[in-house]
Structure 1
Amino acid sequence: MKSRKPIPLLKLRKRKHSQPGQSKKDQNLNINQNEDTDQEQAVPIHLHRELKKNIEYIKQMVGNSSDIVIREFDLGQTGEIKIAIFYTDGLADKSFVNDFILESLMVNIRTANLGSDVLSKKNIYEIIKSHSLPAGEINELVDFNKVFYHILSGDTVVLMDGFLKGLSIGSRGWADRGVQEPSSQTVVRGPKDGFSETLRTNTALIRRRIKDPNLRIETKQIGKKTQTDVSIIYLKDVADEKLVQEVKARLKKINIDAILESGYIEELIQDETYSPFPTVYNTERPDSVAGGILEGRIAIVVDGTPFVLLVPALFVHFFQSSEDYYQRADIATLIRFLRYFAFFLALITPSAYIAVTTFHQEMIPTPLLISLSSQREGVPFPALVEALMMEVTFEILREAGVRMPRAIGSSISIVGALVIGQAAVEAGIISASMVIIVSLTAISSFVSPTFNMGISVRILRFIFMFLAATFGLFGIILGLIMMVLHLNSLRSFGIPYLAPNAPFILKDQKDNFLRLPHWSLHSRPALINQQETVKENTASPKPPQPDEANQ
């Protein structure tokens, strides 16, 4: 049986300029294709030649904020050279500023051997730029937009009297959480490091795993007020160029005041808004992101959050864990089947119980039917109301456990569930069998490796319960058909959401429901990657000739 040819990247509908009847999402994304970020769109205000006027303008714009430090000093034989440095207290590394910037400009430059050059007002700019600053990151500034961006990002800006340009020195050094174990996607075997809230730390964790010069990290600022750094990371010779351009185009269209978390980006670039299923993958694990990049996916890293986005994201991607590739192939395959089974349990267990006990009692064995009937003898509510009461109560307990302080959150949720469930059964409000059904459903919903797919199941579960209470098993089957049709209509950056199952791609089945041994995983997904599809060269290298071996 031959596999189908890979489907080319589907062209998405282009958003037009805002019209009176346009949706809010389209209006937020409405921006000219030829324009870049808001920072680059703003009319540049060039620096003034007089240092005093530059200082006054900066003070005026920041409103004399106490965390903006301005240090003025003089250079030259008679102090004729006026210089000022600007940095934000708390964002810049004070030790670096004092030891490598201020000391270099105020002390070392006076005793430096400049050869034939004499420290003067004419050549002070080139001397400072080329000889005096022991820093690895130095940029030239000519307008105030860049000046404010670097100051408020933690860099140190140096301005000199008599020059229409200045310098920014990389001195970012704010306190961060550091690299810790991920809290949302834990594994038994595998790396324990997770992303943090610092962009450069996150890119370093990915670069540490993929030491390939073709790994591209491109950063831009999104958000008119926050100017949040957003980086896209991909392998140049692996990722599809059309996919890379599509990701850049969607990010370029974003026109919004603030980007405070990667969830903003996810909602603005996703293919389908009104769908319970996620089409953008997010994770705290650097190894998951590195694995996706090696397959041809593109990572989107947002400064200020430990959750990194990965696109395109397919349905099967949300049932795969990074631990699948650290365990043996047979164990990983068994666990994957267990996840899919738990997905269907969490989805239709309450609805199946409602349908069978309400419409299809003949399907239940007689001893079990007698037992269920005796349990429900004193229950005044139908099965649907009974299930809704338990499901809503459990959702409230689950949300309360998340929001409560950690010291008491878990105990409140567990004790609350046990006490409320037992009290409700003894009071005759619900049956004991319903407690078992709801407990099994709740446990099954936690099996999913990704939190957002578990939320999708929680939403759909209530829809299936109403269908089961109305039409019985026929309603459940109708709901499953509609769900599969909806899944078939979804795309993630132009890639069919149910690939490689619909369309069926035979060669990609080795890492779908099954996880074959690593030696057989020698090709990348066909639809995601259309350039370098082979992961490794299976041909054995040619042995050296005898004369070559003796040399």
Structure 2
Amino acid sequence: MYGHTISGILNLTGFIGYIGELKMTTNIDENIKSFRQIYSDCSDIKIQEMYLGRDASIKCFVAYIEVTCAGSGINNSAFGRFTSYLEGIDRDQVKEVLDKNQAALSEFAHLHTVREAAQMMLTGDVIFFVDGYPDAFKLPDKGYPAMSIQEIDSEKVIRGSNEGFADSIKINTALIRRRLRSTRLKCKEVKKGLRGHSNVDILYVRDLVKPGLVEDVERNLDSYVIDHVGDSGVIEQFAEVKWYSPFPQLQTTKRPDVAVNALLEGRVVVLCDNSPIAIILPTTMNNFLKTADDYYNRTIAASFARLIRYVAAFMSFTLPGLYLAVTNFHTQILPTPLILAFYEARLGCPFPQLIEVLMMELSFELLREAGIRLPGAMGNTIGIVGGLIIGQAAVDANLVSPIVVILVAFTALCSFAIPSEEFAFSFRILKFAVIMMSAWLGYFGFLISLMVILLHLAKLKSCGYPYMMPFVGSELTGGEDEKDSIIRFPLRRLWRRPVFARENECRKLKGNKDD
């Protein structure tokens, strides 16, 4: 397998080197031959010869991908205006027009080799060759078709914008620029993918990001070679240090306002072409339990909602295990009426409690996965109706007790209350580990599970920052980060940026912080 992989890389390297030997010449026929040779057997690549100039003596040819050119509206496009301009000038004026871009086209660029021209055409622009001129030219056009900006179906908020990222990296960058109109916002573009050549943008605020963080991100992107980056999830997996951890070590979002808030905290945002999901780094556990409207609502409302999320996150993976530990090993801690209620509910059930809980949990996970894969409203229907039908049918058939159905349903509700789907998925996995330990060792197994999880979280880091900030390492900011954790203090008290920002730019609010 490795031999085939290395052979493929060497063959591709040889192909690229071969393209690099195809030098641009002043003879347009040779350039046409070289270009056709590169894109042989490519029916979607259109190469059109034409004659321009006042006396139609200038031989040219244009190359583009079929769906990226303006088609019937080509006369109104940048390329159409450019060719119309060339039709009205003499041959002697062409060189001056091309050298000085007298047609005033944006993104007009000189390309010095056939390889460069062939590669730039794949960005969705038009490549233009002129006889007697040693360069080709990149002319902007409409580009690839892509999904436009839409309302996001996740990370819902009660107050604030519902605008989400699109599939185009240029649109996503513009959405951030529109919200953060600062000359200090920087955007570095790199190409990733040996064959895919996907655009990856690294965004940061120059005076806020700590030295070395952007360089670390660039170094990580350069540390591996891959054929194609189809989504930002590929970059995320390679960037995580502890790949075996169930917890995400990088934050993701579909919301431009969340990305902007992260940039103003001194963090880095990574965008990938063809992906509506941005990566934010570094991050902490606390960031996964925040929402965008936490800062748009009043303190009491935001703090109450955040407290519910923290409680829900804890109960989403502990409730089933705690139920098994108490009912199987430590019934003495329960009131007698509650024990009798549990006993009566289980009369006639043929399976042990562990099998009951596992059967219902797996059923709900199956329903959740089926609801995601089914299209449109059908997915929501199968999640709600399917859960009710299966739960009621299982109770009527005496396969499970009503208590277990209520318990599993409440656990699922708790996981839905976690804003980040990736973070919630971590607890969905850990839930089964806690169930098995509690069924084996009772309350001691439950405590051992919690201890292992807490120790793992305490050791986990994201780009060198403790994952459990601000609950650990709060002395790094004098305890100021704790004001934006479980309880969100009034905005007038949140005068300091988080630990990610430079120390000399830590203040984000000027005024009386003791009001």
- Alignment map for 1:397-416 (pairs within 5 Å): 397-416=367-386
Match in the other structure for 1:128: 98
Deviation per CA, 1:431-460: give whole Å up to 9, x if none.
110001000000000001110011001000
5 Å-filtered alignment, 1:221-232, equals 221-232=191-202
Give the 3 Å change call, closer, same or farther, for CA 389–42 of structure 1 in structure 2: farther
In the aligned structure 1, how far is the partner of 2:78 from the partner of 2:379? 48
Q: Residue 214 in 1 paired to residue 189 in 2?
A: no
Deviation at 1:292, TM superposition (A): 0.3
Instruction: State how far apart, in whole Å, the 1-side matches of 2:184 and 2:79 are.
Output: 38
Flag structure 2 segments of 5+ consecutive residues without an equivalent. Answer: 7-14
Shift of 1:399: 0.7
Secondary structure of residue in 2 paired with 1:73: strand
Are residues 1:520 and 2:490 paired?
Answer: no
Alignment partner, residue 70 of structure 1: 47
Contact 2:85 2:103 in 1 (8 A): no
- Aligned to 2:91, the other structure's residue is in SS state coil
How far residue 425 of structure 1 moved from its aligned partner, in angstroms, is: 0.9
Find the aligned partners of 2:159 and 2:108 in 1 and give their Cα distance: 42
Secondary structure of the 1:90 match is helix
For residue 255 of structure 2, what is the aligned residue in structure 1?
285
| 3-state SS of 2:280 partner | strand
1:163 aligns with 2:133: yes
The equivalent of 1:4 in structure 2 is none
1:45-74: CA deviations, max 9, x gaps?
432332222222222222242322222122
Is 1:200 the equivalent of 2:177?
no
Report what 2:59 is aligned to: 82
Q: Does 1:352 align with 2:325?
A: no
Deviating more after overlay: 405-414 vs 289-298: 405-414
1:237, 1:531 within 8 Å by CA — same for their partners in 2? no
Give the Cα–Cα distance (whole angstroms) in 2 for the partners of residues 524 and 471 of structure 1.
44
More helix as a share of residues = 2
The Cα shift of 1:177 comes to 2.2
Structure scoring higher RCO (CA < 8 A, sep ≥ 6) equals 1
Residue 39 of structure 1 contacts residue 227 of structure 1 at CA under 8 Å; is this kept in 2? no
Cα distance change of structure 1 residues 393 and 223 upon mapping to structure 2, 3 Å threshold = same
After the TM superposition, which residues 48-63 of structure 1 pair with which residues of structure 2 at under 5 Å, given as runs? 48-63=25-40
1:148-187 to structure 2, matched below 5 A, reads 148-187=118-157
Find out whether 1:509 has 2:486 as its counterpart. Answer: no
Deviates more, 1:388-397 or 1:178-187: 178-187
Q: How does 1:354-503 map to 2 (within 5 A)?
A: 354-503=324-473
Would you say the 8 A contact 2:86–2:94 is kept in 1? no
Deviates more, 1:95-104 or 1:355-364: 95-104
Contact 2:127–2:137 (8 Å) recurs in 1: yes
Please say which of residues 285-294 and 509-518 is displaced more in the overlay: 509-518
How far 1:528 moved relative to its partner?
4.6
Report the equivalent of 1:190: 160
- More displaced 10-residue stretch of structure 1: 502-511 or 452-461: 502-511
Deviation at residue 249 of structure 1 after TM alignment? 0.9
Distance 1:281 1:39 in 2: 36
Structure 2 vs 1, CA of residues 40 and 57 (structure 1 numbering), >3 Å: closer, same or farther?
closer
C-alpha separation in 2, matches of 1:40 and 1:498? 49
Q: Measured at CA, do residues 77 and 525 of structure 1 come closer, stay the same or move farther in structure 2, by a change above 3 Å?
A: closer
Q: Is the 8 A contact 1:46 1:164 kept in 2?
A: no
Task: Report the CA distance between 1:412 and its aligned residue.
Answer: 1.9
Aligned length: 501
Conserved 8 A contact 1:276-1:459: yes
Matched-pair contact (CA < 8 Å) for 1:81–1:160:
yes
Q: Is the 8 A contact 1:177 1:196 kept in 2?
A: yes
Q: CA separation in 1, counterparts of 2:66 and 2:459?
A: 51
Shift of 1:530: 3.6
Matched residue SS, 2:76 = helix
2:88 is aligned to 111
CA deviations on 1:234-258 (whole Å, 9 max, x unpaired) are 0000011211111111112231001
SS of equivalent residue, structure 1 residue 310? strand
What whole-Å deviation, never above 9, does each CA across 1:317-350 have from its counterpart, x for those lacking one? 1001111001001111111111010011111000
2:266–2:500 Cα contact (<8 Å) kept: no
Distance between the aligned counterparts of 1:105 and 1:130, measured in 2?
13
Q: Structure 1 residues 238 and 288 mapped into 2: Cα distance closer, same or farther (>3 Å)?
A: same
Q: Distance in 2 between matches of 1:275 and 1:330?
A: 34
More displaced 10-residue stretch of structure 1: 54-63 or 337-346: 54-63
2:11 maps to what in 1?
none
In the aligned structure 2, how far is the partner of 1:69 from the partner of 1:132?
Answer: 26
> Do the aligned residues in 2 keep the contact of 1:96 with 1:171 (CA within 8 Å)?
no
Equivalent in 327, 335, 340 of residue 305 of structure 2: 335
CA distance in 1, matches of 2:215, 2:73: 38
Aligned partner of residue 63 in structure 2, secondary structure: strand
- Matched residue SS, 1:74: strand
What is the alpha-carbon root mean square deviation over aligned residues?
A: 2.5
Read off the aligned partner of 2:471 and give its amino acid letter: N
Please state whether the residue corresponding to 2:505 is helix, strand or coil.
Answer: coil
Q: TM-score, normalised by structure 1?
A: 0.86
- How far off is 1:294 after superposition? 0.3
Letter in 2 for 1:269: A
| Matching residue's letter, 1:534 | R
Out of 269, 275, 291, the residue aligned to residue 299 of structure 1 is 269
| Identical residues among aligned pairs (%) | 33
5+ residue gaps, structure 1: 1-18, 28-37, 113-117, 541-551
Q: Do the aligned residues in 2 keep the contact of 1:240 with 1:531 (CA within 8 Å)? A: no
Q: How much does 1:504 deviate? A: 2.4
Question: Residues 83 and 418 (structure 1 numbering): CA distance in 2 closer, same or farther, change over 3 Å?
Answer: same
CA deviation after TM superposition for structure 1 residue 409, in Å: 1.7
| Counterpart AA for 2:58 | I
Query: How big is each residue's C-alpha offset from its partner over 1:262-309, in whole Å with a ceiling of 9 and x where there is no partner?
Result: 101111111210000001111110000000000001000111011111
Q: In the alignment, is the contact (CA less than 8 A) between 1:100 and 1:134 conserved in 2?
A: no
1:93 corresponds to 2:93: no
Structure 1 residue 164: deviation in Å? 2.9
Residues 531 and 119 of structure 1: CA distance in aligned 2, closer, same or farther (over 3 Å): farther
Distance 2:421 2:83 in 1: 54
SS in structure 1 at match of 2:474? coil
Greater shift, 281-290 or 128-137, is seen at 128-137
Whether the 8 Å contact between 2:265 and 2:500 is mirrored in structure 1 is no
> Aligned-pair distance for 1:377?
2.3
CA distance in 1, matches of 2:246, 2:19: 38
Separation (CA, whole Å) in 1 of partners of 2:42 and 2:401: 63
